[in-house]
Amino acid sequence: MESATEARDASRDGKMNSDGAIPTEAELIERARALLPALRERAARTHEEGNVPAESIAEMKHAGLFRIVRPKRYGGYEMHPAVLYEVQMVLAEACMSTAWVQGLLAVHDFQLALFDDRAQADVWGSNEDALISSTYQPVGKVTRADGGYRLSGHWRFSSGSAHGDWIFLGSIFAPEDGSAQPDLLTFLLPRSDYQVIDGSWNVFGMQGTGSLDIVVDDAFIPEYRTHSMTEGFEIDGQKGLKVNTAPLYRLPWGQLFARIVSSAQIGSLQGAYDAFLDIAGKRVSLADGTVMAESVSTVRLAARVATEIAEMRSTLRASFDAMMHHAETTGAIPMEERLRYRYEAGTIARRCARSVDAMMEILGSSGIDKASPILPFWRDIMASRAHFANNPDNIELSVGGHMLGKPSMERFC
C-alpha cells in the first residue's frame, strides 16, 4: 500500500494530484490534450527517426499516462479500461505512432498484474516508472529448466522496445512428455536478457512506433515470470488475481490488447477529419472557382465520417461498460459477447482506413501533397491494418460459428 510520503513524491512528479489522490478521467484527458502541441511538433521527427522521442516518453510518464490500468498497490490508478483508450485516442489526434506506443506500454501493466506477484515486484518494486514492451509472435525455442524455462529466438515487431525496461515475449511450450497440451506462454525478461536490433523496422507507415526486432540467446526465465494464454482466457487460474482483486483484473487480457492496437486509429481518424475540414473549408476549385466545402459530396462525407467516429467511440465504451458489469457481478462474460467484442475491435482498422481513404479521394492533390496535414494520418492508419489482431477475418469464423452452434477454438478474446 502506498505511504503518505510516496503519495507526496508522486504528486510532485505530476502522477498524482496535489492531495495524493488518483487523477480523474477528465484530468487525464486534460493532461493528454496538453501534450498535443508538442507531439504535433515532433510528429515528423518521430516518423523520420523511427522512434518516439525520449522527451515524449518522459512527458507521458510525468502525466501518469502509463499508469491507468496498473494496480494501485504499485502506484497505478486501477481505472476503467475505457479511460486508457480515451487517452490513447486523444494522443493519436496529433501522432498515431506516439499513441500506439503509449497504449501498448500502458496496457502491458494490466497483463503484468495477472502474473505471480513476485514478477510484479521484480518490475515495479524498485522502479514504478518501468515500462514493458512486447512481441507475442509464437516463435523461439523453449525448454524446461530447474525452476523455470530457457528461451532463445528472434522475434519481430516490438513496438516501443527502445524505451522498454522489460519485455513480454510469446512462445509456444509443448511438454516433451505429452503431459499437457501446447500452450502459448508469455515470458517476462529484463532488458539485460535480450537485444534490441536497431534498424530492423523499415516501413512506409507507423515508422515512429519503433517496432524493432528482439533477439534472446539462452535466457533463463523463472516459472513465476510466465503467463499462460489458456489461463488468461479462463480467467480464474491467473496467479495475479490472488493479490489484485479488483473487478478490473477479471477482464480477459485478449480484450484489452485487441482494443489497444485498434483504438489509436479512431483518434488518428479524428485528426485526419479535423485536417479534412480545414482543407475543405479553404480549397477553391481551379475548374469553377467553388469552395470545396460547398460540394454535396464533401458535405455528405463530413457527416458520415463524424458519425462513424462517434459510433466507434460509443461502441468501445459500451463494450467495456458491459464487461466491467459482468466482472463486478457474475464474474463471467458470456462467450457470445466475448467473441463479438473481439470482432468489433478487429474491424476498426479497416473502417478507419475506408473513411480516411474517402477523404483523401475528395481532397485530390491537396491530400497527397507531402506537406498535407492529412497524409501522416492516412499513412499510419493504412499501415495499422497489417497487425494480426486488426484482421477481422481471423475472428469472423469463430463469431459466426458460435452463433450457429459450433464450438469456438478462439482463446484470445
| pLDDT values of the chain reduced to their tens digit, one per residue, 413 residues | 444 444 434 444 678 887 789 999 999 999 999 999 999 999 999 999 999 999 999 999 999 999 999 999 999 999 999 999 999 999 999 999 999 999 999 999 999 999 999 999 999 999 999 999 999 999 999 999 999 999 999 999 999 999 999 999 999 998 766 667 889 999 999 999 999 999 999 999 999 999 999 999 999 999 999 999 999 999 999 999 999 999 999 999 999 999 999 999 999 999 999 999 999 988 776 566 678 888 899 999 999 999 999 999 999 999 999 999 999 998 899 999 999 999 999 999 999 999 999 999 999 888 899 899 999 999 999 999 999 999 999 899 999 999 999 988 888 99
User: How many CB atoms lie under 10 A from the CB of residue 118?
Assistant: 13
**Residues 292 and 362 both lie in one domain:** yes
The pTM for the full model equals 0.94
**Residues 289 and 325 both lie in one domain:** yes
Distance in angstroms (rounded) separating the CA atoms of residues 319 and 80: 12
Count of the separate structural domains present in the chain:
3
Distance in angstroms (rounded) separating the CA atoms of residues 304 and 208: 29
Distance in angstroms (rounded) separating the CA atoms of residues 354 and 349: 9
Strands 195-197 and 226-228 come out as: unpaired
By the 8 A CB rule, do 113 and 121 touch?
Answer: no
**Residues 311 and 375 both lie in one domain:** yes
Q: Write out the three cell numbers for 97.
A: 505512432
Beta-bridge partner residues of 167: 133, 189
The label of the residue with cell 489509436 reads: 264
**Residues 118 and 139 both lie in one domain:** no
Query: Is 346 a member of any domain?
Result: yes
> pLDDT at position 17, please?
86
By the 8 A CB rule, do 32 and 63 touch?
Answer: yes
**Residues 271 and 363 both lie in one domain:** yes
> pLDDT at position 4, please?
41
Query: Is 411 a member of any domain?
Result: no
> pLDDT at position 313, please?
98
SS3 state at 265? helix
| Terminal Cα distance for the chain, rounded | 32
- Domain that residue 295 falls in: 253-403
**Residues 33 and 75 both lie in one domain:** yes
Of 123, 18, 27, 31, the residue nearest 73 (C-alpha)? 123
Half-sphere exposure of residue 98: CA atoms within 13 angstroms, side-chain side: 36
Query: Is 73 a member of any domain?
Result: yes
